[in-house]
Structure 1
Amino acid sequence: MLEKLAKQTAIYGISTILGRMLSYLLTPFYTRIFGVESYGIITDVYALIPFALVVLTMGMESSYFRFAAKAEAEGGDIEKSKRKLFATTWGITSLAAVLFFVVVVLFRNEVSALMGEAYVANPLYVVTVAAIVMADVTMCLPFSRLREQGRALTFVSLKLLNILLQVGMAVAFWGVGLFDTEFGVGWAFVANLVASMVTLVAVVVASGRVSLRIDWALLLVIFGYSLPLLLSGVAGTAGEFLDRQLIKYLVPTESMAQLGIYGAITKIAVVLTLFTQMYRLAAEPFFLANYRKEEFVAMNAAALKYYIMVSMALFLGIALYRDAFALIVGRSFREGIDILPVVLGANVLSGVWLNLSFWYKREEKTQFALWVTLAGVAASAGFGLLLIPQLGYYGAAWSRFAAEVVMVAISIVLNRIYYPTPYAFGRMAEYVVLALALFFVAECVEVESVVLRYTLSTVMLVIYLVYAVWREKIDVKSFVKHILRRG
C-alpha cells in the first residue's frame, strides 16, 4: 500500500513541481517589476486568501473523503450516495462563496480600510481578490471529487492549466505596460482571477454533471464531522498568516517593505514546500480512504519516517546553497536570505504535523485538531508579539517555527495517550541531528572561495544521502531499475 501512496505522491508531485515552478517564476518576475512595498501587498493578499478558503470550504474536503469512504464500506447504491454527498458539499461551499463575494462588493470601502492604507486608494483590489476567492472555493469540491476518484492526471492537468494561464496573463499584462498604470499591482490579481475562472469552468465539466441540491439532513451529519476541522483549519491558517499580519501592524517603520522581503524569501523554500504539498495531496485521500485497513498504523509510522528522511535532505539542499537561491528574487529582497533555514525548518515541521493528524481524522476525533492548532496560534501570537517589534521579519520567521514545534509536540503527546503508533523516533532523530550537524559544520567553516564553499556544501549533502541510503538499506541500482521499468 505504501507503493500506492508513493505512486500517487509521484503523480501529484511531478505535476505540482512543474506547475509550481511555473508559478514561482512569478516571484523573480514580480520582485523585479515591483518594489518591496508593492510586493508587500501581494504577500499580504496571498497570505489572507488561504484563510478565506479554509473558512468558506468549512472542512468539506476532508469530510467528502471520509463520507465517500463510508459509502463504499456500507455498500448499496454507492454511486448514488456519492453523488448526493458531492451535491451537498459542493452546494454549501458554492453558496458560501457567492455570499462572501456579495458582502465584500457591498462593503468594499470598509474592507479596504480594514486591510490598510495601501488598499484605500484602490478598493478594486479587494473586489478582485474576493472574486478570486469565490472562484477558488467553488472549484475546491470538484477537485476533491477528482482526487477521490483517483483521477490524478485530470486533476494535475487542470492545476497546470490554471498556473499556465496565470503566468501567461501576468507576462502579457507586463508586455503591454499595465503594471505601470495606476492600478499597478492589481493587475497581478486580475491575472489570477482570469486563470481561476477558466479553471473553474474546466473542472466543473471534468468532474461530471451534478445538480447543486443540498441534502440538509446529510449536511447536519457532515457538519458534526467537519466543524472541528473547520475550527482547526481556521486556527491553523490563522497561525500561518499571523506572522505576516503581525509584521504589517507591529513593525514601526517600513512594515510593507519588510512584509515584501519576508514573503519573497519564504517563496524561495519552494522545493520543500512542494514536497510537503504533494505529500498532502496524495496522503490525505489515501489514509482516509483506507481507514479500515489493519496496516494503517504501520503505514502511517513508515510514511512519517520516510517523510523526515527526504525532507531533511531537501532542507540541506536548499539551506546550504541559499546564496544561489537568493538570486531567484530581486536584489533589494536578498537582505533577508538568512531567515531561509528557519523557514525551511518550519516547513519540515508542518509536514510532520500533517502526518500526525491522520489518526484522529480516521477515528473521528477531529476536536484534537482544534486543540493543537489553537495552541499553535497562541504560540505564534505570543512569540510574534515578543520578537517581531524588535527583530522584524527575523522575529516572524522564528515565531512561525516555534508555533510548528508546539503543534508537533502536542500532537505526539496526544498520539501516545489516545492512539499509540510505533513511530521510529530514534531513526527520525538520527536524520534530523545529522542534517543539522552537517549544516552547522558548513556554516562554521570559513571559506572565502565560492567554489570551495559550494564544494564543502556538496560534500555535506552527499554524506547525508549516503547515510540515509545505508541506514534504510536501499538498493539504489534496483530502485533505479524499478523506476525505469515502471516508466
Structure 2
Amino acid sequence: MATLKKLFKQTFIYGLATVLPRLLSFILVPLYTSDGVLSSVAEYGKLNIIFSYFIFFNVILAYGMETAFFRFFHKEKNKNTVTSTASISLLISSLLFLIIGFLLQHKIAQVTGLNIEYIKYILAILFLDAIVIIPFAWLRAMQKPLKYSFIKITNVAINLGLNVFFLVGLKKIAESFTFAENLYIPNFEINYILISQVISSVSSLILLGKFYTKLNFRFDKDLWKKMMKYAFPVLIAGIAYSINEAFDRLLLDYLLPKNIAETTIGMYAACYKIAVFMTLFVTGFKLGVEPFFFSQAEQKNKEKNYATILEIFVMLGALMFLGIVVFTDILKLYIIRSEAYRQALWIVPFITLANLCLGIYHNLSVWYKVTDKTKIGAYISILGAIVTLALNFWLIPIISYKGAAIATLAAYASMMLISYLLGKKYYPIPYNIKKIGLYLGLSSAFAFTYFFLFRENYYVGILFILLLSGTMIALEKNQLISIYNSLKNRKR
C-alpha cells in the first residue's frame, strides 16, 4: 500500500504538470474557434495539419531514447554516464536534423503544401523540443515532479499568453491607436501561433539550462549501442503510435476533395478536443506510472501492484468516459465557440473511448518493457497503425470524418486486446478481467445508448452515471475501505 501511495502522489503531481498546462492551453481552442480570430474553419484545419506533423516528427527526433534512458538509468550503476550518453546522442541528431531541414526547407514546403515561413518555425520548434527530452526525463527519473511541473506549466503559460496577445491584444491595440496600426499583420495568425510556440520552447530550454552546465559530456559508445538497440523498437512503436494519433488529419486532407478537406479537418479537430479530459487523465497517469513500472521490476509483489493499478485506472477512466459523453453538449458551449465547428460532435464517444483503450494499453505494456521485449511492443503498435491506415483509406471516402473516428477506436482497442493476450502468455499478471470487462462494457453501453438515443436528456445521463458508480462501489467496497483506513492511519 505504501508503494501505491507513492505512485499516486507522483501521478497527481505529474498529472498537474500535464493537466494544468493543458487546461491553460485549452483556452486556445475556444480562442481559435471564436468568430473573427482565425479567418475560417479551414484555417484551423491547416493549423491542425501542422500539429499532426509535430506529433510525427517529435517521435522521429526522440527515436525511443527517452524510454531507453529510463531503462538504463535504473539498470546501470553509472547513472551519470547514461544521462550524458543519451543527452549527447539527442543533441547531435537534433542539430543534424535542423541543418538538413533548413537546407531542404523549400523542398519540404513543396511536398507538404505549407508556406515556407511555417517550415522555418516548425524546424526550430522540433529542434528545441528534442533537446529538452532527456533533461525532462532526468527530472522524472530523479523524482523531482515539482520542478518538472513548474517548467511545463511555465512553458504553456507563456505560450498561452503570447497567443492571446498576438491574436487578440495586438489586433485591438492596432485598431485603437493610429501609431500602432502597422504592428498587427492581417492573415498572419498561424505565424503568430508558431512564433508563440518558439518562444515558449526557448523558455523551457533556459529553465533547464543548469542540466547541461552540470553534464559531464562523457559519451560511452558501447552503452549507446545497447541503448539504441533497446530504443529502436520503441521508435518503431512511436512511429506507429503517431500514425494512430495524427495521420487521420493528414489522410482527411489527402482523401477528401480539396475544396472541403481543410474545413472538415477543422471541424473534426475541434470536436476531437471534447475528449481532451480523457487524454489528460491518460497522459498524467502514464507519466507517473512508467518510471514506477521500471523501479518496481525487482520487487516481490510487483505483479499484484500492476494488477491493482490497472483496475483502479479502468474504474476512474470508465466514469470519466461516461461523464464526458453525458455532458458533451454542455462542454461544447465552452470549448467550441462557433457553431460552424460543431457538426462533427458525432465523433466524441468514439474518440473518448479510444483514448481510454489507449490508457489501458499503456498499463498493459508493462510486461514487454520490464522484460526488455520492446520489439513486441513495436509489433503491437504496427498492428494498430495498419488498422488505422486500412480503415481510414476504406471509410474516409465513404463517411468522411466518421470513418477517421471509427478507425481510431478500432486501432487502440485492437492494441489493447493483443497486448493483454501476449502479456498473459509471456508475463502473467493477475488482472481481474471480469471486473475490468464489466466496468468497460457497462460504461460503453451507457455512453453510446445515451449519446445516440437520449442525448441532452440529463435525467437519463445522470441515472447512468449513478448506476455505474453504484456498481463500482458495491464491487470495490473492501478495497475502498482498505484505502480509507490506510489514509486514516497515516493521518494519525
TM-score (ref. length: structure 2): 0.91
Q: Return the offset for 1:322.
A: 0.8
Could you say which residue in structure 1 is the equivalent of 2:433?
425
Taking the TM superposition and a 5 Å limit, the aligned residue runs for 1:180-259 are 181-205=186-210, 209-252=214-257, 253-259=259-265
Work out whether residues 9 and 279 of structure 1, in 8 Å CA contact, stay in contact via their aligned partners in 2.
yes
Paired residues, number: 471
Displacement of 1:383: 0.5
| CA contact 1:145–1:207 (8 Å) conserved in 2 | no
Over aligned residue pairs, what C-alpha RMSD do you find? 2.2
For residues 15-68 of structure 1, what are the alpha-carbon distances to aligned partners after superposition, in whole Å with 9 as ceiling and x for unaligned?
Answer: 322211001111111111222111112211112212211111111111111111
Matched, 1:273 2:279: yes
2:311 aligned with 1:311: no
Alpha-carbon displacement from aligned partner over 1:138-161 (angstroms, at most 9, x marks no partner): 001000000000000000010000
> Could you tell me how far 1:435 is from its partner in structure 2?
1.3
Which consecutive unaligned segments of at least 5 residues does structure 1 have? 72-77
Aligned residues of 2:326 and 2:450 also touching (Cα < 8 A) = yes
1:289 aligns with 2:283: no
Aligned to 1:152: 145
Residue 75 (structure 1) aligns with = none
How far is the alpha carbon of 1:360 from its aligned partner?
0.7
How far residue 207 of structure 1 moved from its aligned partner, in angstroms, is 7.3
1:106-144 CA-to-partner distances (Å, cap 9, x unmatched) read 11111111112xx1xx30101101111101010010000
1:90 alignment counterpart = 87
Matched, 1:3 2:5: yes
Q: What SS does the corresponding residue of 2:208 show, helix, strand or coil?
A: helix
> Equivalent residue for 2:170?
176
Matched with 2:52 is 47
Deviations 1:87-113 (A, max 9, x none): 110111121111111122111111111
Between the aligned partners of 1:151 and 1:308, the Cα distance in structure 2 is 27
Displacement of 1:342: 0.3
1:270: Cα distance to partner?
1.4
Separation of aligned partners in 2, 1:222 and 1:210: 19
Q: 3-state SS of the aligned residue for 2:429?
A: coil
Q: CA deviation digits over 1:415-445, x for unaligned, max 9?
A: 1221222111100111112212322443465
2:350 aligned residue? 342
- 2:269 matched residue in structure 1: 263
Q: CA deviation at 1:481?
A: 10
Q: 1:199 to 1:484 in 2, by over 3 A?
A: farther
Deviation at 1:446, TM superposition (A): 4.8
Once residues 440 and 98 of structure 1 are traced to their aligned partners in structure 2, the CA distance between those partners, rounded to angstroms, is: 48
Q: Secondary structure at the match of 1:312?
A: helix
User: In percent, how many aligned pairs have the same letter?
Assistant: 29
CA deviation string 1:335-360 (max 9, x = no partner) = 11111000001101111111111111
Pair 1:484–1:125, CA change in 2 (3 A): farther
Quick one: distance in 2 between partners of 1:353 and 1:163?
A: 28
* CA–CA distance in structure 2, aligned partners of residues 480 and 15 of structure 1: 29
C-alpha separation between the residues in 2 aligned to 1:251 and 1:213?
51
Q: 1:204 to 1:290 in 2, by over 3 A?
A: farther
Whole-Å Cα distance in 1 between the matches of residues 481 and 44 of structure 2?
44
Q: C-alpha separation between the residues in 2 aligned to 1:180 and 1:457?
A: 47
> Aligned equivalents of 1:180 and 1:258: distance in 2?
27
* Alignment partner, residue 104 of structure 1: 101
Displacement after TM superposition at 1:408 (Å): 1.5
Cα offset, 1:480, TM superposition: 10
TM-score (norm 1): 0.92
Partner of 1:415: 423
Which aligned pairs between 1:435-454 and structure 2 lie closer than 5 A? 435-443=443-451, 446=454, 453-454=457-458
Aligned partners of 1:29 and 1:213: how far apart in 2?
46
Q: Tell me whether 1:20 sits opposite 2:26 in the alignment.
A: no
Is the contact between residue 143 and residue 207 of structure 1 (CA under 8 Å) also seen in structure 2? no
The residue number in structure 1 matching 2:179 is none
Q: State how far apart, in whole Å, the 2-side matches of 1:326 and 1:481 are.
A: 40
Contact persistence 2:325–2:451 (CA under 8 A):
no
Aligned partners of 1:66 and 1:289 also within 8 Å: no
Contact 2:17–2:148 (CA under 8 A) maintained in structure 1:
no
**Residues 23 and 156 (structure 1 numbering): CA distance in 2 closer, same or farther, change over 3 Å?**
same
1:179 to partner: Cα distance:
7.3
Q: Distance in 1 between matches of 2:448 and 2:389?
A: 29
Query: Whole-Å Cα distance in 2 between the matches of residues 336 and 179 of structure 1?
Result: 33
- The alpha-carbon deviation at position 313 of structure 1 amounts to 0.5
Give the Cα separation in 1 of the matches to 2:344 and 2:184. 25
Shift of 1:211: 3.7
Structure 2 CA distance for partners of 1:44 and 1:445, relative to 1, 3 Å: closer
Aligned with residue 471 of structure 1, among 456, 459, 475: 475
SS in 1 for 2:189: coil
Residue in 1 that maps onto 2:396? 388
Conserved 8 A contact 2:454-2:460: no
Amino acid at match of 2:190: V
Structure 2: gaps (5+ residues): 172-182
The answer to whether the 8 Å contact 2:349/2:448 transfers is no
- Hey, what's the Cα distance between the residues in 1 that align with 2:454 and 2:83? 59
- CA deviation string 1:360-390 (max 9, x = no partner): 1100111101110111111101101110111
Q: 1:370 aligns with which of 358, 361, 378?
A: 378
Any idea what SS the aligned residue of 1:176 has? Answer: helix
Hey, what's the Cα distance between the residues in 2 that align with 1:285 and 1:477? Answer: 25
Aligned counterpart in structure 2 of residue 462 of structure 1, from 461, 466, 477: 466
Provide the C-alpha distance between the structure 2 equivalents of 1:484 and 1:40, rounded to a whole number of angstroms.
53
CA distance in 2, matches of 1:484, 1:344: 37
**Mapping for residues 116-135 of structure 1, pairs under 5 Å:** 116=113, 119=114, 122-135=115-128
Change (3 A) 1:114 1:484: farther
